[in-house]
Each structure stands twice: as C-alpha cells, then as structure tokens.
Structure 1
Amino acid sequence: MPEAGPRHPKDRRGPRQATASRPRAARRGTSRGEGGITATQERRRQERVEKAAEYCVAVLNDGWTNVVSERAAEYVTEQTWNSLFSRRRRRRCKRLARTAAAILTGKKMLHDLVGAIAAWLAALLGGDRIVQAFARKLAANIPLPPDAKMVATARGLQVTGVLLCLVNGDDLTRCQCFIDLALEEAKTQVKKILVAAMEDWTALAQFPAKPAVVEQGTYGSAGR
C-alpha cells in the first residue's frame, strides 16, 4: 500500500524532507537530442533546475507541506484532495504540469473558465478523472476575475505538483512542476511563488507567465 498523502486539512503524517541533488558532471558535445535541444543546452537547463532546487529546498523543509495543504483545503473537497494523493503521484505531477503550462501559454484562453473547464480538462488530461476534478474545483473556487483566475489556477496546479513529489519522496530536480517553474522563472521568483502558496491562493495570480515564455512556449511540459 502506498503511503498516504497529507490529509485535508488535519491528521497528516509527517512530511518527508525535500531534497535537491548536487550539480552533475557536465557532458561535452553538441549533438541534438529530443526536441532539438543540444547537449550543452540540456546541461544548462539541468544546472538551472539544480540551482533553483538548492535555493528553495530550505523553504520546502520548513513546514511548507502542511501549510500549503491547508491552503489547498480551502478550495477542494476532502474526497478530491485525498484521492489526488492515493496513487500515481509522479504521473499526476506531470499531468498537473501539462495543464498549468497549457493555461499559462494561452493554448486555451478560457475566459469563461468555470463553465468550460470540465470539457477542456477531459480532452487535455485523458482518463485521469482525479486530476480533472482537482483542477476543475480549484478553478471554480478561486474568487477572482477570469484572467487572474487562470493564472492562480495554473500556479496552484504547479504548487500541488511540487507537493505531490515531496510526499512521494522525489528529488525536486525530477519534479516536472518544479522543473517548469525553474526553467521559466529566476530562482528568487520560484521561491516567491512557493512562499505565496502558504497564503491565500488568490495571491498566486500575481505571477503570470512572462510574455517571452508565452510566445515561445518554453515550458518543459507544454505540448507533451
């Protein structure tokens, strides 16, 4: 039986410590890999993620898991929250990352987000109805105008993905939601997003995607 995740919002088990791997030895060469990324570019991306993880790990080990779980509990039901942590945590992190990337890059500009998100998420996420339900309830219950709601929802999904990976005991550098944040933002901004998640999640609307990121679609999980 897999270890249960944080409860909603009480009766949680102690969170595991966040970990960040040390920089790995660089590989030489310029051969292009998947997506046309050279070995040098991939090495730089990895180093960026590792530096962000090292910078943020102290915040994530300072009661972050429990506090963020309480904030999320304000927007989704206990059943939805507990189901999200039941199994397949690593796979769900990737799907949360993909959904957040799609929202932030404007692939689906849902100005009527609450009314249209159910059908859209079903098409985007395939058969994972638990992730669909979580994203739908989060979007429906964040009390913001549509555009700000989209940003706060996307950031909330990314934060939840980081939380899933922490509960699963995964290294931050292998968490797709954290990877996307680290590749998009400076490490100081990533930390601000993670700290903001400890407050009312409407504050996450303060962190929209950068115009260059939206235009180029440079999220690690976008389009996957």
Structure 2
Amino acid sequence: MSPAELSSAAQACVDVVSRGGGDAIAAQALNYVSEATWDALVERHRGKGCEALAARGLQAAGIFVCFTAGGTMQDCACVRDLLVNEGKTLFDNLLRGALQNWGDLPSRMQDAIAAPGTLTA
C-alpha cells in the first residue's frame, strides 16, 4: 500500500465519520450491544488504537475509535489492515456498509469480490 493510498483512505474515513457517519456507526453498534457496552468499548480503546478490534465486523467501530481519539487516520490499524488485506474496493464497501445495516457487511464484502472495481449499493 502506497502512502498516497493510505492518505486517500484515511481522508475518506475522516469525511464519512465527520459528516455524521460516526453517529450512524454508533447507532448500528447499538443494534448489537448495549449502550453501556458500546461506551465502554470506545472509552477502553480511545487513544490506544483499534488493534483489538481487527475482526471485519468490528473494524468500522475501530475506525470510529481512531477518529474520536483525535489522531491521524493514517495511523489507524483498522484502516491499514483493510487496505492491505482487502484492497480499496472492499475497503470502500466496508466503510459504506458501516453506515447501514451491519448484518449486510458479510455480503457487501462478498459482492465486491464477485465484482472487482465496483461498489455495491
């Protein structure tokens, strides 16, 4: 992954999360865990990075944690891991899917594999 690719992906995360995407990610998380659990997860990892949240379903939460910590998104392990291991198309699908129903995340990732270079709706 080139520095330019990382920078572009980091900016995409900042754009999505800062335009209300963080609230959407939190709302989706609350469909699966209690508010107390979500708050504890965010507080526990804020400032420490998202390495412990590296499972694909939690990487959206990890990106949110990195963003709320105030660091640079280029330092976010979840962003880097997604780009290195899944590529830009799957990264884009996961990021967009994080704002929608998390139950659809596995299929969004598979759809991108089936149709490289395209984003699912």
- TM-score, length-normalised on structure 1? 0.44
Unaligned runs of 5+ in 2: 114-121
Say what the alpha-carbon RMSD is for the aligned residues: 2.3
After superposition, give the CA deviation of every residue in 1:193-220 in whole Å (9 maximum; x if it has no partner).
Answer: 1111111111111215x7xxxxxxxxxx
Matching of residues 145-224 of structure 1 within 5 Å: 155-206=56-107, 207=109
Q: How far apart, in 1, do the equivalents of 2:35 and 2:12 lie?
A: 32
Structure 1 letter corresponding to 2:75: R
Distance 1:189 1:163, change over 3 A: same
Decide whether aligned partners of structure 1 residues 47 and 204 sit closer, same or farther in structure 2, where only a CA change above 3 A counts: same
- Secondary structure class of the residue paired with 2:43: coil
Q: Distance in 2 between matches of 1:52 and 1:92?
A: 17
Q: Distance in 1 between matches of 2:12 and 2:35?
A: 32
* Counterpart pick for 1:75 among 32, 48, 52: 32
- 1:41 maps to what in 2? none
**What is the identity percentage for the equivalent residue pairs of Structure 1 and Structure 2?**
34
Change (3 A) 1:88 1:55: closer
Contact 2:66 2:76 in 1 (8 A): yes
Structure 1 unaligned regions, length at least 5 = 1-43, 101-154, 211-224
Tell me, in whole angstroms, the C-alpha distance in 2 between the residues paired with 1:54 and 1:62: 12
Instruction: Decide whether aligned partners of structure 1 residues 171 and 92 sit closer, same or farther in structure 2, where only a CA change above 3 A counts.
Output: closer
| 1:133 paired residue number | none
Larger radius of gyration: 1
Q: Deviations over 1:58-108 (max 9, x none)?
A: 2232210001100110000122111112244243511112xx2xxxxxxxx
Letter in 2 for 1:81: W
2:22 to 51, 55, 65: 65
Q: CA 1:193–1:179 in 2, change beyond 3 Å: closer, same or farther?
A: same
The CA distance in 2 between the partners of 1:178 and 1:77, in whole Å, is 25
Structure 1 segments of 4+ aligned residues over 6 angstroms from their partners: none
Q: TM-score, normalised by structure 2?
A: 0.77
Q: 2:11 corresponds to which residue?
A: 54
The secondary structure found in structure 2 opposite 1:62 is helix
> Kindly tell me: are residues 173 and 203 of structure 1, through their superposed partners in 2, closer, same or farther at Cα, counting changes over 3 Å?
same
| Partner AA of 1:51 in structure 2 | S
**C-alpha separation in 2, matches of 1:57 and 1:197:** 13
